[in-house]
Structure 1
């Protein structure tokens, strides 16, 4: 019986079980890799690896992840007051994905900064406002830093932060962001019906339930898609594609459940005239006949 653990070190930063690459062998998702500005995230042998020594703690990978799979990385904490992010600001400006969560979770609508001293933040707010226009949300403004009285009393010499300011982090991940901004899509599921076999693999692998086959319909809920690409990765006829789009629609396609004339198993088809399931169509000489 082990009384003491031999290794008390915490697990290293990495991609958890919900990572697309840990769930789908042929996954092609590169969201965290593309989001990292210092090349601290890499993919090797189909797995995601994090270099914590090179990481600058900007949190970009966590906000870009379509399934919220990045573990053991500390999110940046920021100062805010009266509906605005305030100084001190980080050297690396946050991305649009993080700022959208400040917009949704804390109703932040402004940033206090020196425009000449914080050009990266000015560019970040400009990019954010372009996105907010697409989402039909109120825009952010840039405010001059507030002037606070300096208390020269001896006991306050080492007090750096303003007691009236709050500090917090926001929830990362595309999944949470899509829940806050569900009225407008970020991605569109494009289906080629002529190539689709209605095997249901895309619906089973989708972690967001954006694709559903039930009853007499196939439903593509574009507003729930986070762009992980799992449906593309498992579709062997390459009938489905994930494309960037801001159109919020719900596509419902009529399907039929029909017994196969060869193997007698029920299968989904686009028309009632279909006789054989896709598997039997590709087998010859009655190999699947009962």
Structure 2
């Protein structure tokens, strides 16, 4: 929780431009793996040297290199040591990448030179520009929620470190309120919690007859109660109380006891929340920073209290996703379409805000699932940006190929959990195969269909996503299934996409070492992934289609795919409600005729058109159309224009007029032939006809 906030400072500082040339220092860790210095230096425009004991006897080499400028070290194990050396030279900067566990320590380590070259090329790329951020400011006002025993115990321990408040959520005859009122204590039920670090809002209902905020703790009520229903926590056990109300009389003018309290609603605002309830108030996969629900274990509670103490202050976090409302397919005119992002958000940071969604950057934890499942690209991951990660993909694949590597497999993994699993595999198992190139990203949840297909188009034989550390692998599996269906449909043989849901290093080892290389493109694409999701998909699909072993024009896909066709039945009246609802312009109304057109390339299968159609005339068919017809607007339905039977003015599509007449034919207001005839007239002619054919008095009465 803390590192998700604090580690971002490095990212925001890292984007500054470095004009000095970096020196590269690699180490084979006491000759435990092979490093081909000549081969690696061939593709790098920077001084490169390989060492054997860089972190020990040769540490002076790092000091000498830092004296000349920035340094890139191919070792992460001793990053702390090297950083301490670099700290003595404030003008120099030191960066690290992992050559040992990612490449050298492998059963195929001797053949890993192309992968080492690829990893080195990625490490020498310029730092991406920092993303926009949001600032969180948290004081030390801590609310402790829970049963009296645990809540009061921790309040006593933490009262000197925090501005503590306590909310008791149950009675406990063994618990005793402190004799000295050093912090507020309340009691209540029906507790609700919302907000984020520095701005938590808590509401509860004061149900117990004794209001602890008013109670002076004189103990008169305890002594007066004949049933002993009041404990030292000053709460009434209503199951034992026999309504003598002796406690009310004993409380007297203080008025802290009220068995008929009318207004029991209470609320408060806090910086931090320690939730000791039996069931957490927030049941989220990713709770907000500043909220801790450690359960009943005392050690977990102590660790949670310590972590909360580190969250007092001012912090910066990135806006993990960018949102473009115009592309959002969530809703139109109160008709719901796509809800993928809302359903996938593990932090509950996304909610409906009318026709579009609202993203709370303070709650967002940056998993990127929303960008993965968004069919239009309205939500785009920013940490890292797709174009920045795409540049790394293109760089490693190009360098790997130039260094003589074959059948590359990209392994996307999350920054913390994925890295740890790969390191354990290198130490305990066979390591990564020489053709498997790990690419670390903030969260592997954000690896979507666009990045998967673009990677294959750019020359990857296969793409694996390590699910360790992800919140829900189901969206990743769905994306991989769509991508595999497309590649198989184009004739590419083998399994190209795999979501590796391994719980330990042995599972990762089995998933990668037994994976036979799949058929890739004969010629790698030259494009770079771009910010717009649909544009990247279009570039990738064009190249995959051009290079396909068995090119086809249509591929059937499963429901949920972001490509497909729209069909209309004879029930369509050309009311054009679907055109107004379509967020991407896939459905359009012609300007020269009563005609509904469809541009399949723009369709994302969000369903807004079908949900908006009053005639239920629209059906969706998931598929991928790859010929030029997908890029042209094709007519779905056309009808003649209906003209007013009196003046000849155009009134609209004939089917919609016919539908109106059919529905109103049995209405009492249109019982006569003359009245029914007016349904075929324009608005002006109806008034004129009414004036001419009804008696004047009646007509004028209607206008009053």
Question: When the two structures are superposed, what TM-score results if normalisation uses the length of structure 1?
Answer: 0.62
- For 1:222 and 1:108, how far apart are their aligned partners in 2? 28
Q: 1:256 aligns with which of 640, 646, 651?
A: 640
Report the Cα offset of residue 87 of structure 1: 1.9
In the alignment, does 2:379 pair up with 1:70? yes
Report the Cα offset of residue 23 of structure 1: 5.2
Q: 1:129 aligns with which of 474, 479, 484?
A: 484
More helix by share: 2
**Aligned-CA RMSD value:** 4.6
> Greater CA radius of gyration, 1 or 2?
2
Report the Cα offset of residue 174 of structure 1: 4.3
Write out aligned runs for 1:187-226 (5 A).
187-194=564-571, 196-214=572-590, 215=593, 217-226=595-604
Whether the aligned pair in 2 keeps the contact of 1:256 and 1:268 (CA below 8 Å) is: yes
- For 2:637 and 2:619, how far apart are their aligned partners in 1? 16
Match of 2:263 in 1: none
Whether the aligned pair in 2 keeps the contact of 1:98 and 1:172 (CA below 8 Å) is: no
Report the Cα offset of residue 198 of structure 1: 0.7
Report the Cα offset of residue 69 of structure 1: 2.1
In the alignment, does 2:342 pair up with 1:33? yes
- For 1:113 and 1:247, how far apart are their aligned partners in 2? 27
Report the number of matched residues: 251
Report the Cα offset of residue 225 of structure 1: 1.0
Report the Cα offset of residue 126 of structure 1: 6.2
- SS of corresponding position for 2:531: coil
- For 2:663 and 2:600, how far apart are their aligned partners in 1? 32
Q: 1:16 to 1:141 in 2, by over 3 A?
A: closer
Unaligned runs of 5+ in 1: 1-7, 145-167
Unaligned runs of 5+ in 2: 1-132, 136-317, 399-407, 411-436, 499-511, 514-527, 543-552, 556-562, 665-669, 686-704
Q: 1:216 to 1:197 in 2, by over 3 A?
A: closer
Match of 1:265 in 2: 650
- For 1:88 and 1:31, how far apart are their aligned partners in 2? 26
Report the Cα offset of residue 48 of structure 1: 1.9
Q: 1:102 aligns with which of 439, 455, 461?
A: 455
- For 1:66 and 1:33, how far apart are their aligned partners in 2? 13
Match of 2:9 in 1: none
Whether the aligned pair in 2 keeps the contact of 1:188 and 1:244 (CA below 8 Å) is: yes
Whether the aligned pair in 1 keeps the contact of 2:331 and 2:337 (CA below 8 Å) is: no
Question: When the two structures are superposed, what TM-score results if normalisation uses the length of structure 2?
Answer: 0.29
- SS of corresponding position for 2:376: coil
- For 2:539 and 2:639, how far apart are their aligned partners in 1? 29
- For 2:479 and 2:637, how far apart are their aligned partners in 1? 40
Report the Cα offset of residue 99 of structure 1: 1.1
Report the Cα offset of residue 282 of structure 1: 4.9
Report the Cα offset of residue 193 of structure 1: 1.8
Report the Cα offset of residue 137 of structure 1: 5.5
